[in-house]
Structure formats: structure tokens, C-alpha cells
Structure 1
Amino acid sequence: MMQKLWLIPLLKSLPFAVLFVLSIRHVYAAPTGFVLQINLTPAICKIDASQKRSRQCLEGYALTVSGLMPEGVNSRSCATSSTAVLSPVQKRLLMRIMPDENTQARLWRSVGGCVSMNATQYFRLMVNLADKLNMPAEVTTPTSISVNRDHLKQRFVQLNSGLSPAAIQLACNNSQGSSLLTRIQVCYQSNGRYQACHIEQVQTCANQMTIQGSY
């Protein structure tokens, strides 16, 4: 996180106990890792009426990124009032994976206070991680298919060196009696390497899941 130079004279005059608390807060604010959240767009378009007129639904996106969420931080300290100002080139790259500017703005306002980087760096990291992740053909199928949960995780492992099943979490919604895959989460260390997910999640996917084809 960028150091605020105008705070230095104030810090020198503070008692040790206060400095200690501030130091803990600063260390605590640094993420220990990140979770890349990827939505299976056809499934979201099917079950969420509010999304059906969104660009990703109307233009037939197979996958969209909904966020790169910091781990190991106090979520109450993550909000920011700063605005994400991106270059035209970066906006174009970001729109490929997150094609809604309002979603981009909301995401930055919700995490910008505790990611230890500015908006340009944050969205660059998100795009880079998404681009490096090789996706199994099953998750971009044009027709609806049934897949085994563990098999799909192994497909990710086969396609991405260093990735383990523990670094992947799948989320499903019950749709017409079937377990519909709606989100894939991949967990990373702060240096961008894969790590086992630390976030707690109740298993929401059955052994046999449905992947929604093109919406």
C-alpha cells in the first residue's frame, strides 16, 4: 500500500501503543492471497432475471469474471471512495472478461481499500490471472451437458501446471431439480501462484452437475 508521506510527522509524535495498533492494522490490511471468481454466464442468465438484459447475456458470453477478491483481510476496511481510472487499452482488455463498467466500478469500490495496489495494478492482475487460466472445453459448451464434479476439477488440474483440486471451488444452484454450475473460484497466493483455498464454503454442487449451454 502506498505510504502517505504527510502522516510521518504525526506518527513520530504518537505513543508506542498507538503506533503498535496502527502497525497491526497495516499488516492485517495486506492480502494473503486472492480468489478469482468466474461466472458461467449462461447459467447466471438463466436463473437471474435481473441479468437477462445485461451485455454478457445479450451478447452470449460463455464466461465472465465477477471479481478478484482479497483473502486474509478485514472486509470492513476494503471499501474505497476512489475511482478506478483506466487507460483506453486497459479498459478494452478488461471488457473482454468483465463487460459491464458499472460492475467494474462497484468491484473496485468494494475492494480498493485493502488490495495494496492501485486500480490499474489491480485490474491488470485480474486480467493476467484470467488470461493464464486454461479453461476446459466443458465449461464453454454450446449445448447443456452433465459432468462429474471431481472430473471437472481434474480437467482444470490437467490443463494448468501447479494447480491442485484444493485450489478450486465450485458453486451450484438448484435449477429444475438439477445441480447447475454457476461459479468457479480459483485461489492464489499474493504472488500469483496457486494455493489451497482458505475461504469456507458449504458444498453446493452434487457429484453430477449440469453445465448450461449457450443462453
Structure 2
Amino acid sequence: MIADVLNLGKNVCLCRHFHQMDKAAILRKDNRQKFYIDVWPVDFFNPDESNIFGTTSLFLMQLATILNMVSSWRKRTMLRVFLCVSSRDADPEAQKKQVKHMLHELRINATIVPVPWDHVVTNIAQGQSDSQSEAEADTDYLSHLNNGYINGVNGLVSGQSVDTAVTFLYLPRPPPTPAHYARYLELLTQITNGLRPTVMVHGISAVTTTNL
């Protein structure tokens, strides 16, 4: 169904764990605790090709901003954008400045939170099979995603979510082969297990502009 909707040129949002949200507690006027709306604009299924300035990442930020702009939520929540940084990044500080500039241009008031994740991405290389042919890798782009990596991503997000009200995650595209759909859904389930109420988003069409 996800693939069908994307093939129709429509944006997709999947929600999980919202039955666990205690909205009354979050928005209670006498509650002085500050909650967060978190955005993780990285394609965890394909991190090397992820683009924080791409359509899906911008759509994530827009949806999170809309929620944060609701008057009752604005008083109780703050918006955070997480940047996954590793030793392979050429200039993480420059990337942070670029993101800060982009948020300013889009009039998005958010705190940028760099998160080291070398200990997570190393699991991709460690779990990749040397015996797998290039043809198999092309057919199944999920083949490099082992449990160590997926559990690491889950732990990374979960570890930053103590006071999180809602988490927005990048929804990767489904694999091209229907035979791998079950594995795709299994990985989505695994990566979001135990998280706060989560919205997984994939954007097709541009939804933001700086020409205002």
C-alpha cells in the first residue's frame, strides 16, 4: 500500500504508538515540564544517500512545525532537529551552520542537536555479507541492514526521547521488489519499537518555500 500511494505521487505518513500518548498530561496548564517535538531528517535505511535538504526532510520539519504552532502545544513543547554526525563527515560544523541557515530561511524555530553515531553506522559494514553478489544487493537494498544496526538506531532515537512528546522519522521508500515488502515492514517495526508516539513521513512533492 505504501508503494502504491507513492507511485500515485502522494506524500505518506505512518503513525505508531499514538494510543500511548497522554495528551492531557502534556498540555496540562499546571505542568511546568517542557516536552519536545523531535525531527530526525535522515533516511536510516540508506544513510549515505540521505539528504537533509531533500523533500522528505523538509516535509518532516514542516509537519513538526505545524504541530508546534498550535497554541496549546507551543506553550508546552519545543522543536528539535537531530543531526547524526560521524567521523566520516567532512565538516559537521559547516553542516550545522547550513541547517541553521535553512531553518532561518524557512522561519522554523528549532534547536539543532548533533548526535554522534559512529557506534551505530559501523554495524552496517560489520553485518554486510561478503558473499552477496552485486545483483542481489541491487535487487534488495535492505540487505545491508542487520539487526545490530537497526537496534542501534532504535537505541539512538530512544536515548534522546526521555521528554519527547512526538517523534518525526524519515520513512524510507519501499524496496522495488514486492518479495521484500515483509522485510521492509519488519524493519520499520523494529526501528520504532518502544519509541514515543511516532510519525514516519515520506514526501514526494515540495511543501515548503522561502519565497514569502
- Pair in the same fold by TM > 0.5: no
Larger Rg computed on CA atoms: 1
State the TM-score, normalizing by the size of structure 1: 0.32
- RCO greater where, 1 or 2, for CA within 8 Å and sep 6 or more? 2
